[in-house]
Copies of this chain bind each other. A is one copy, B any other.
Amino acid sequence: MEYTHSGLLEQAINAVVARQPKSVFFVACGGSLAYMYNQQYMLDVETDLPTAVVNSNEFIHRNPKLLGENSLVITCSHSGDTPETVAATKFARERGALTVAYTHRADSPLWKSADFALHYDWGEGSDAYENRSGMALRFIFGFLNAFKPGSTYQHALDSVKNLGDIFDANITKFKDRADHFGKIHKRDSIIYTLGSGPIYGDAYSFTACLLQEMLWVHSNAIHSGEFFHGPFEITDFDVPFLLTKTYGQMRPLDERAHAFLEKYSERLTIIDAQEFDWGGIKEEVRQFFAAPIFGAVLRAYAEQLSFHRGHPLSVRRYMWRVEY
């Protein structure tokens, strides 16, 4: 069965415009949740909509009173069968919210539970435009543009078409540095990550999904602004940090963490969005595209770490293997 989701995407955007939501909840688990931070950031900066990023099970049990007919609830599960996310989507829908779910698996339980289900491609040979990264940007910019049409949003929507080329260019650009990162950290038992704003989600997924889950390396995604209010005391010459420096208005937070870490750790790795190949994306929307580019580059860093440690990213000891 074929799913050409451009029609569905348009329907979902129209439904958002028709609903005129008064609050937006981004609800998922793990890497899918991490992916929501950039979308939340876009709405916080571009609209006066209240937003929240919430773990699916927290969302259900917390049961926020704000959730209702005036809410838009965006959920995501790659497999489409994450039980908490399927349950959260049904829960939100029963409460009258407009529900939009992202998933790679059409016809999955998640797909069937939402008002609008948006399929995304994945894996070798697929185009970033049709992947989760491109699809999420097209959905959010799509309804922003529908609410308030303008050349900036149109430029952003056009730029999504180049995302695959931009990913490739940056993976190539950072290839040697990723290899170096893998080599020098092959024996480390802990690597901290830092980020802020929309990139906090990238730091979080690098910590939770790539380091802890796939590589069994201890980690903590420290918020660049929070760093100075406790966590920075664990800094030492031999403690490894991976700092993401983003592009745009959040950058001062990362700059401050950089200045400190440069002084007190000898094991600091920086990935700086100012060095990205932006492939024609204009200044004014770069801060919204930084997160997916970080995602692609960080994946390359994890792959090199995997190679040097001899620990494939596919290895699990609990996930999909035991009951939990």
Q: What is the interface of chain A, defined by CB distance below 8 A to chain B? A: 23, 29-33, 41, 44-52, 55-58, 61-66, 68, 82, 84, 190, 196-197, 205, 207-209, 212-214, 216-221, 223, 225-226, 228-235, 249-250, 252-253, 256, 259-260, 264, 316-319, 324
Contact = CB atoms under 8 A, between A and B. Distances in A.
A233 B65 contact: no
B68 A48 contact: yes
Given A30-B229, A318-B264, A44 B66 contact: yes
B233 A212 contact: yes
B45 A65 contact: yes
A253 B45 CA distance: 32
Given A47-B65, A197-B62, A250-B61, A216 B233 contact: yes
Contacts of A30: 226, 228-230
A228 B324 contact: yes
A318 B55 contact: no
B225 A84 contact: yes
A41 B226 CA distance: 21
Nearest to A211: B234
Contacts of A196: 58, 61
B220 A63 contact: no
A112 B110 CA distance: 51
Nearest to A67: B48
B233 A220 contact: no
Copies in the complex: 2
Contacts of A252: 57, 61
Contacts of A52: 50-52
Nearest to A219: B220
Contact of A233 (B223, B253, B318): B318
A11 B225 CA distance: 32
B41 A66 contact: no
A244 to B, nearest CB: 14
14 contacts: A29-B225, A29-B226, A47-B66, A50-B52, A52-B52, A55-B225, A56-B225, A61-B249, A212-B234, A213-B232, A218-B218, A233-B316, A233-B319, A260-B318
Contacts of A319: 232-233
B226 A61 contact: no
A179 B62 CA distance: 33
Given A61-B253, A253-B57, A218 B233 contact: no
A255 B312 CA distance: 31
Counting chain B CB atoms within 10 Å of each CB, the highest count among A228, A252, A264 belongs to A228
Contacts of A225: 29, 55-58, 84
